[in-house]
Amino acid sequence: MNQASRTHTHVGGFAVVYVVKTSSGHKLALKRLAVNNDHDLYLTRQEVAITKALSDSPYSVTYISSATRKLSSDVHEILILMELYTGR
């Protein structure tokens, strides 16, 4: 996915959700989390696994992809790309 634009949409305790637009103009939700300990990293990996497992349910968001990278010796960034649901 080539990111043509990114708009900040929501901030939570551990995450920021962006609306991103693909090169074809399709809007998606990109959830960015940053964690600084092994327990929270485990929990976010569980969140990814659950989101992926429930992706086919009509009551859950559609999982597209995810990635984890180490930002420093104790900070990891987790990105979760999902279909965007606006509630409308």
- Looking up residue 10, the CATH number of its domain turns out to be 3.30.200.20
Record the tokens describing residue 33, joined without a space.
Answer: 């989390």
Record the tokens describing residue 21, joined without a space.
Answer: 């637009």
Which amino acid appears at position 10 of this protein? H
Any alpha helices (H) in 34-78, and if so which ranges? Answer: 38-53
Which are the contacts of 76, defined by CB distance < 8 A and separation ≥ 6? 34, 35, 36, 41, 44, 68, 69, 70
pTM of the prediction? 0.81
Q: What pLDDT tens digit does each residue of the chain (88 aa) get?
A: 444 455 555 555 668 889 999 999 999 999 999 999 999 999 999 999 999 999 989 888 899 999 999 999 989 999 999 999 877 6
**Number of domains observed in the structure of the chain:** 1
The residue range of the domain holding 45 is 5-83
